[in-house]
Amino acid sequence: MNPETIGSHVVAEILENSARSAINLLRLRDELGPVVAEYRNSRLRNTYGYVTHTDHPNINAAIRLAARECRFEVLTSQPGGGRSEAVLSESLPATLEMLDRGVRMKTIYQHNARSSAATRRFVHTVQQRGARVATLDENFDRLIVFDRTVAFIPEDDEGRVAAEIRAPAVVSFLVALFERSWTRAVPFTPPGRDRATTRITDDLERAIMRHIVAGDTDSVTAARLGISVRRCQEYVARMSTRLGSRSRAQLGYLIAKSALLDDAPEEPAPARSA
C-alpha cells in the first residue's frame, strides 16, 4: 500500500481522536462548572455564611435552588409598588409549587401595589393557595427568607448583585425585621371603599406628611413610598387646600403645628399569629 495513503489515514485518525477529546473536555468543563461553583459557594457558606451572586440569571438561579429546598416557610418583602406582568408570570409557577407542597408564605408589598392589576391577579391566585399577603405604607428593602435559614438581600440599587446569607444570627435579625413590619401591615384586599382601603389612604397621607415635615421633595417621597410623583403631588395639593397653605414650607409648618401626625389610626392593626 502506498505509504502516503497510510500516512493520510493515520493523520486523519489522530485528528479525529483529538477533536473528540477536545469535545469531551469542553463537555466535562460545562458539566463540572456548576458543581465547582456550588463547591466554592458551599465552602464560603461554611466559613462565612455569606455568598455574593452577580447578574440576574445567577441571582435567580440561586433563589430557585433555595426555593426547591424550602420545606416549611418563605417570607418576602417586595418594595416599589406593583410588579410587572412578566416578573409575576415568571415567579408564579415556583410560588404555586411551594404552596402546593405545604410551604407557608407571607409577603409584604407597599400600599401602591394594590393599584396594579397584574399584582392583584397574582395575589388573588396565591391567596387561594393559602399565601398571606399584606401591604405597608413605609419604605423597606427587598428581602426573601427561606425556612429562616437562608436569606437573600440586594447589594446594589439596580438589583444586579445579591447576597445569599446563611449566618444564623444575621438571618434571625432579618426575620425579626420582617415580623415587625408584618405586624404593622394591612391584609391585601382589592381597592374599594372598605375599612382597609380607608386605613390605607390615611396611612399613606400620614406618610407623605412625615416626608413633607422632613423637607423631602415629591420625587424622593414618591420613590420611598412606591407611588408616582403625580399621585404624591395630588396628595400634597389636597393637604395644602385643606390646611390653607400657600407654600411647601408653610405646609410643613402647619402639619407639624396641627399635630396630625400624633393621631393614631382609628382602626387598630389586626392581630396576627406568627
* Same domain assignment for residues 183 and 61: yes
Last-in-domain residue among 160, 187, 214:
187
70 and 176 housed in the same domain: yes
Asked if residue 223 is part of any domain, the answer here is yes
Torsion of CA 262, 266, 269, 270, to 10 degrees: 170
Number of other CB atoms surrounding residue 82 within 10 Å:
21
Look at residues 187, 220, 241 and tell me which one is the last residue of a structural domain.
187
pLDDT of residue 266: 42
Q: Indicate if 182 and 54 belong to the same structural domain.
A: yes
**Is residue 58 included in any domain, yes or no?**
yes
Q: Looking at the structure, tell me whether residues 131 and 218 fall in a common domain.
A: no
**What whole-number distance in Å separates Cα of residue 253 and Cα of residue 122?**
41
What cell does 129 get? 393557595
For residues 60 and 152, membership in a common domain is answered with: yes
pLDDT digits (tens, 9 = 90+) for 210-257: 888 888 888 888 888 877 788 888 888 888 887 788 888 888 888 877
82 domain-assigned:
yes
| Domain match, 159 and 177 both | yes
Mean pLDDT across the stretch 163-190?
A: 90
Nearest Cα to 221, choosing from 110, 134, 135?
A: 110
| Mean pLDDT over the full length of the chain | 79
What pLDDT is stored for residue 148 in this prediction? 95
The last residue of one of the domains, among 25, 47, 69, is 47
159 and 209 belong to one structural domain: no
Q: Is the pLDDT assigned to residue 268 strictly greater than 50?
A: no
Residues 1 and 103 in one domain: no
Sign of CA dihedral 201, 191, 218, 118: positive
CB-based contact 204:115 (threshold 8 Å): no
Query: Does one domain contain both 199 and 241?
Result: yes
When pLDDT is averaged across residues 180-192 and rounded to a whole number, the result is 80
Beta bridge partner(s), residue 52: 163
Domain containing 243 equals 195-262
Residue 218 lies in a domain: yes
Asked if the model's pLDDT at residue 274 lies above 50, the reply is no
Phi, psi at 71, each rounded to 5°: -115, -30
Please report, for the domain that includes residue 237, its CATH number.
Answer: 1.10.10.10
Same domain as 151, residue 56: yes
Together in a domain, 63 and 135: yes
Which one has a higher pLDDT value, 114 or 167? 167
Same domain, 134 and 205: no
pLDDT of amino acid 141:
87
Tell me the pLDDT band of 143, cut-offs 50, 70 and 90. very high
Band (pLDDT 50/70/90 cuts) for residue 6 is low
Cβ 140 vs Cβ 79: under 8 Å: yes
Sheet-wide strand order for 161-165: 50-54, 161-165, 150-154, 143-146, 73-78, 104-110, 132-136, 186-187
> Which of 125, 124, 116, 63 is CA-nearest to residue 85?
116
Whole-number Å distance between alpha carbons of 149 and 89: 26
Q: How many domains does the chain have?
A: 3
Domain assignment present for 268:
no
Q: Does the pLDDT of residue 169 top 70, yes or no?
A: yes
